[in-house]
Structure 1
């Protein structure tokens, strides 16, 4: 059965900074997050075709507001100086350079991230959001990432979890408004068939809250995007905190899916401009450099496109 979701840092101190900032940022979700003073990916040349395709209202404003549920390492996070970083942040800077405008990340809780576009507060979503047929009813996706979903457990794997069915009759935490919870509940009959009780799923506001629950023993595991799980499992600092469960039958994670930039369907011209900018980044190698920076090269898209969710890579 597939597992799908929405879609720590290199040092434990960075994860702690993200946790400390999350509460404060939640109270001002419409405000722009702190950005690094300089970012090499914002310094690329404009792509004339992509810039020409951008609707006039964004050219005039000079900015595209990006809804992003921060922190969600390694997609969006804070460094040791509390400056915003991560795959989505760097990619946003590079896309802005191609389009000749700024892409400015705005902190937005994930469960209200689509409504923030519908209300006009934000223009697009870059938040590790998976491209699913259900979401395609509301959004178009410019797909830039392809990864599965994995199980994150405390270091040493005290629950001896080796596959998703080992989660039966255990407390598992996931982030609220992701589809992991729904999918995990589809294993109820398989758990019963093996003589066990269903998985007990709890949904928490932030991925950092989920990881805290696992660290504190309130949850046996976190089911999350493979990129996030792999990043958390390699966290340095005072010692190893998590282990990544490696299911031999699913070495790349469960059911790889596409992650994309979410754009309301009525803004189709904006989607086309973003797609042209992304294709330009792939062609000149910037895209590969961004993924390599975060050790995520295993999750590149061979060829990008619109609404690839539900199709084979």
Structure 2
């Protein structure tokens, strides 16, 4: 635990309270730093209050730096996207701002390609990842996860489903587009098929994978259920894609935990973030952010670490 003085904690809390009073004027966006003003909720975003006991859990080097640098892949709706003012919104940015408020520290939201988010932590460019990242045993070799959602992946096909995909097994012999470096690609390649295997097309961004399906370059697109449901509901007013719904997998195929990724050796930060998330769960702010982004069905009941290992 960081042995900070009462004076410093009080000053941080006072600064946070002052900033909260000014949230309606805050214009900080992606990559905001302490010099530009804190990255805080604006408009109708959910707000919370600082907890000095949680502030005291932060590692000394972060207190000295004065902010949490957070890597996120954007756009990746509904997890992260830009609003009309180019401000990051969605589940990850909004939860990140809440965690910063609760911990009494500024946050800087830094756009990062998904396949480079872990290297950005290893290079000390970012402190944690908030990018809808699945908690897997393989990633736990490098990261600890504070899990914040639980759900599977979903399959999208072009409207009308002329390819006839009704179950996960129907993807055998088909070409499926996914974002590069995602768990979905690994799961599809590992599927046992009676005939031809799944042909997995990995593309740089999630939007590229969606575009491949729209252009007929793939038979299906696979992503986390929270993302796929949003894409299906919003693209061409819901007329572009159909979601393949399997009654045997109502929460999506191969349900997994996703969460906030932090380097394993940063144990103090892991615990500070875990307790801050638990506080947001207890007060209801976490549930409000889920509901704002239409992903309440994928909530976790408590803030736990590395639940992916037990799946």
TM over 0.5: yes
SS at match of 2:217: coil
Cα-to-partner distance string for 1:136-194 (whole Å, 9 max, x where unaligned): 1111111111111110111221211101111122111111011222221122xx32x2x
Give the match for residue 44 of structure 1: 48
Greater RCO (Cα-Cα under 8 Å, separation 6 or more) = 1
Structure 1 unaligned blocks of 5 or more: 1-30
The answer to whether structure 1 residue 229 and structure 2 residue 228 are counterparts is yes
Q: Is contact 1:36–1:85 with CA below 8 Å preserved after alignment?
A: no
TM-score (norm 1): 0.84
Give the match for residue 153 of structure 2: 149
Alignment partners' CA distance in 1, 2:67 and 2:48: 16
Give the match for residue 25 of structure 2: none
TM-score (norm 2): 0.84
Structure 2 unaligned blocks of 5 or more: 1-29, 34-38
The change in CA–CA distance for 1:81 and 1:120 in structure 2 (over 3 A counts) is same
Note the C-alpha offset of 1:255: 2.1
Alignment partners' CA distance in 2, 1:245 and 1:42: 33
Give the match for residue 72 of structure 1: 76
Cα-to-partner distance string for 1:241-295 (whole Å, 9 max, x where unaligned): 1111001211110121111111111211011111111011011110010000011
Alignment partners' CA distance in 2, 1:260 and 1:134: 14
Give the match for residue 293 of structure 1: 292
C-alpha RMSD of matched pairs (Å): 1.9
Q: How does 1:176-191 map to 2 (within 5 A)?
A: 176-187=180-191, 190-191=192-193
Alignment partners' CA distance in 2, 1:54 and 1:121: 18
Decide which structure has the larger Cα Rg and report it: 2
Runs of 4+ in 1 over 3 A off after TM superposition: 33-37, 39-43, 236-239
Q: How does 1:160-199 map to 2 (within 5 A)?
A: 160-187=164-191, 190-191=192-193, 193=194, 196-199=195-198
Size of the aligned set, in residue pairs, is 277
